Structure 1
Amino acid sequence: MSSLVLGASRLGSGDLDAAVATADAMLLSGHLIDTSRNYADGASERALGMALAALPSPQRADAASRVITKVDADPDTGALDAARVFRSVEESLAALGVERVPLLHLHDPYTVTADEALSRGGAVDALLRLRDEGVAAAIGIAAGPLPLVGRYVDSGAFDAVLSHNRFTLIDSGAADLFDDARSRGMTVFNAAPFGGDLLARGPRPGARYAYRPIDEALAAWTSALFRVCEAHDVPAASVALRFSTRSPLVDHTVVGVSGAARLVELQALDREHIPEALWAELDELGPAPSPFDGRRDA
């Protein structure tokens, strides 16, 4: 089974004391934690840093070794050059209270072209320098659109890749990308296996998949999925999660955690027994009518 990674994108977006308590539970869970300089305007890293600082020394070192973060474009100017990479890392290390991270992703590089980021003296060169200096043990590319992510994978510069909403029960468009990455020896992170929350909560008024409204065909397919899961007395969320964690293409599955209760729920979903007969019945549903074809998304 692939290991779960706890996503911290919403950590710190509400009450700070509650965020620190959630961060403490996440740090003590033994799971990797995925955060970013820009999550909750920096509050995600601050909450994790405060929780880390409160841990006894041996626990703190172990917990800190499991916190992954990302470099982000400047939130005001959109700059994502080498200078911004170094500044983003400095901000992250200060907020987390650490000197190094196990993995540092280039996150959503949408404000620069891949050619610019990969050019001599660009953002990727800065990441390579940080890896050489030991500030990051490894570097990765983390984004959604597959053609863009593929450009960075093809560069051969990265140790890891993360894509979100592109490898789920509904749309497995990232399969070729993940297979290519693994053939290069890269570590694969699959984020958002619920496609937002459609595969956790089911079709309902206003339901969305991968940030997009769903149509009647996808609503009907998802309803059929939920009926199969109910017939086997298995939560659909467990099936959606297991689709990712059982895949030989995926090393780590990233799921957002908004509170300590959500962490407990997620661990229970991961332990759920899923009979093989259920997978066979899902195959009989045929391909889902995805709102986008992940193999061609831009």
Structure 2
Amino acid sequence: MKTPLEPVTLGTSGLGRNPGDERLAEALLSGRFRLLDTSNEYAEGRSETFIGQALKNVPDADVTIFSKADRDVATGVFDGDRVMRSFEETTSRLGVETLPIYHLHDPMTITLREAMAPGGAVPALVSLREQGLVGAIGIAAGGWGTMVQDYIRTDAFDAVLTHNRYTLVDRRAEDILELATERGMTVFNAAPFGGGILSGSPRHAGRYGYRPISPEFAAHVERLRELCERRGVGLAAAALHFSLAEPRIHSTVVGITSLARLEGLDALVDTVIPDGFWAEVDALGTPPASPVD
């Protein structure tokens, strides 16, 4: 893939949901991190709209933006025509003509056979790539059984984005990483904090991947927290560096919902993980099953 990647990509799924996000959008274009991930349906299109407005206000911004095709929210339709409309909506909002990577996003309303059939979503993505309108195509989804693996096995895609499934406390995406690596695909690993539990968020202390956790899972997280305290490493920094240290992952997508979180990301990335730390993590044993599928 010709698109240059960096270890960290800024996720913008929450952009456009809060007052003052116009200022946050401009800050995303002006800092240290140069890759942005968005999607057609994030904040009902406002994520892309705010990024597009920020690009006009910061015309010299040296950023690369990835986006995703989404189903019709009202009907659930996700065919080839919908992919083309989604692409047109996205590029119009962003004010660009092409995208370096364009993902098929959460295709749970269609079967793989429907997606691959003539007139389906995947042939439309391939057509966009053949026309040079997108540099590469990807599959971006969470769980739903082996759906992501099944899409990877079609060999139609250049990239994959998984979230909440390969973290300090969850290895559920191991098969995805293996299949993608075998095919030379680019791998994005999103949500390294598991929806907030590994970032120290009190609001998400009892949830992983936005779902309630078991007592066993909570106990494992607490053991990790105690290890981090003994070694002088913040739990959030450890969670981020777990993903950054994985050679099969090309970029880790960190969701940015506020200026404070953006400003704090520098310190997390620059944290030095002490020698022997990962061996101590391994010594804690295999994490219990997470609540995500």
Pair in the same fold by TM > 0.5? yes
Which amino acid is the alignment partner of residue 11 of structure 1?
Answer: L
Q: Distance in 2 between matches of 1:265 and 1:238?
A: 10
CA separation of 1:203 and 1:44: change in aligned 2, threshold 3 A: closer
Per the alignment, residue 44 of structure 1 pairs with 47
Unaligned 5+ segments in structure 2 are none
Is residue 2:17 matched to residue 1:13? yes
CA separation of 1:6 and 1:270: change in aligned 2, threshold 3 A: same
User: How far has the Cα of 1:94 moved from its partner?
Assistant: 0.8
Is residue 2:122 matched to residue 1:124? yes
Which amino acid is the alignment partner of residue 3 of structure 1?
Answer: P
Q: Distance in 2 between matches of 1:24 and 1:155?
A: 38
Per the alignment, residue 140 of structure 2 pairs with 142
* Secondary structure of 1:106's aligned partner: strand
Q: Distance in 1 between matches of 2:194 and 2:103?
A: 21
CA separation of 1:204 and 1:223: change in aligned 2, threshold 3 A: farther
Aligned residues of 1:193 and 1:255 also touching (Cα < 8 A): yes
Q: Which protein is richer in helix relative to its size?
A: 1
Per the alignment, residue 268 of structure 1 pairs with 267
CA separation of 1:275 and 1:176: change in aligned 2, threshold 3 A: same
Q: Distance in 2 between matches of 1:23 and 1:2?
A: 19
1:83-108, CA deviations, whole angstroms, 9 ceiling, x for partnerless residues? 10011111101111111111100000
Per the alignment, residue 88 of structure 1 pairs with 86
Which amino acid is the alignment partner of residue 290 of structure 1?
Answer: A
* Secondary structure of 1:128's aligned partner: helix
Per the alignment, residue 110 of structure 1 pairs with 108
Per the alignment, residue 35 of structure 1 pairs with 38
Which aligned pairs between 1:158-173 and structure 2 lie closer than 5 A? 158-173=157-172
Per the alignment, residue 179 of structure 1 pairs with 178
Q: Distance in 1 between matches of 2:203 and 2:9?
A: 28
Which amino acid is the alignment partner of residue 75 of structure 1?
Answer: V
Which amino acid is the alignment partner of residue 265 of structure 1?
Answer: G
* Secondary structure of 1:198's aligned partner: coil
Which amino acid is the alignment partner of residue 163 of structure 1?
Answer: T
User: How far has the Cα of 1:283 moved from its partner?
Assistant: 1.7
Aligned residues of 2:192 and 2:240 also touching (Cα < 8 A): yes
CA separation of 1:205 and 1:243: change in aligned 2, threshold 3 A: closer
* Secondary structure of 2:13's aligned partner: coil
User: How far has the Cα of 1:277 moved from its partner?
Assistant: 2.5
Corresponding residue to 1:99 among 97, 100, 125: 97
Aligned residues of 1:175 and 1:249 also touching (Cα < 8 A): no
Q: Distance in 2 between matches of 1:229 and 1:267?
A: 19
Aligned residues of 2:129 and 2:137 also touching (Cα < 8 A): yes
* Secondary structure of 2:189's aligned partner: strand
TM, length-normalised to structure 2: 0.93
Unaligned 5+ segments in structure 1 are none
* Secondary structure of 1:227's aligned partner: helix
Which amino acid is the alignment partner of residue 13 of structure 2?
Answer: S
Identity of matched residues, %: 47
* Secondary structure of 1:78's aligned partner: coil
Aligned residues of 1:203 and 1:219 also touching (Cα < 8 A): no
Q: Distance in 2 between matches of 1:290 and 1:194?
A: 16
* Secondary structure of 1:276's aligned partner: coil
Pairwise CA RMSD: 1.7
* Secondary structure of 1:103's aligned partner: strand
User: How far has the Cα of 1:279 moved from its partner?
Assistant: 1.8
Aligned residues of 1:101 and 1:137 also touching (Cα < 8 A): yes
TM, length-normalised to structure 1: 0.92
CA separation of 1:103 and 1:215: change in aligned 2, threshold 3 A: same
Q: Distance in 1 between matches of 2:159 and 2:243?
A: 17
Corresponding residue to 1:24 among 20, 23, 26: 26
1:199-244, CA deviations, whole angstroms, 9 ceiling, x for partnerless residues? 1117888610112101211111111111110111210001011110
CA separation of 1:264 and 1:205: change in aligned 2, threshold 3 A: closer
Q: Distance in 2 between matches of 1:158 and 1:142?
A: 11
